[in-house]
Amino acid sequence: MSNHWRFERKSVREPAIIAAHGRPRQVPCLVLEISLTGALLELQPECGVLPNEFDLCISRRDTKGCEIVWRRGTRVGIKFTRRVIG
């Protein structure tokens, strides 16, 4: 079976925060896998509906703009669209 991913994915299981644009509520999640271009997130069942675009705060110094590529149950595949400076 061939690997169809463009960049190597790393298994991390690291907590992160989703900050939706223009919304005060922050949503905790778990980054299961990450690559240079995107990530696989695990959400809590009660998190509600996420917008298609948001910022993902992986650490205090690393925040990335994201867009949802797919959704399956509590898992979400995202691509990174930009790095947030500030």
pTM: 0.84
- Evaluate whether residue 5 is within a structural domain: no
Residue appearing with tokens 């399956």: 72
Q: Give dist(CA 16, CA 4) in Å, integer.
A: 26
CA distances from 1 to 7, 19, 36, 37 (A): 16, 36, 22, 22
**Quick one: pLDDT at residue 1?**
38
Domain count, the chain: 1
Residue range(s) defining the domain that contains residue 36: 10-84
In this structure, what CATH number is given to the domain that contains residue 25?
2.40.10.430
Query: Any idea which residue has 């690291």 for tokens?
Result: 14
* Token pair belonging to 18: 């989703």
The reply to whether 4 falls in a domain is no
Residue 61: inside a domain:
yes
Does residue 62 fall inside a structural domain? yes
Q: Is the pLDDT confidence value at 2 over 70?
A: no
Q: Tokens for 68, please give them.
A: 């949802």
User: 2 lies in a domain?
Assistant: no
In a domain, 16, yes or no: yes
Q: Is residue 18 part of a domain?
A: yes
| Residue among 23, 17, 25, 24 at smallest CA distance from 66 | 17
pLDDT tens readout for residues 12-41? 999 999 998 777 788 999 999 999 999 999
Confirm whether 75 is domain-assigned.
Answer: yes
Q: Is 33 within 8 Å of 26 (Cβ atoms)?
A: no
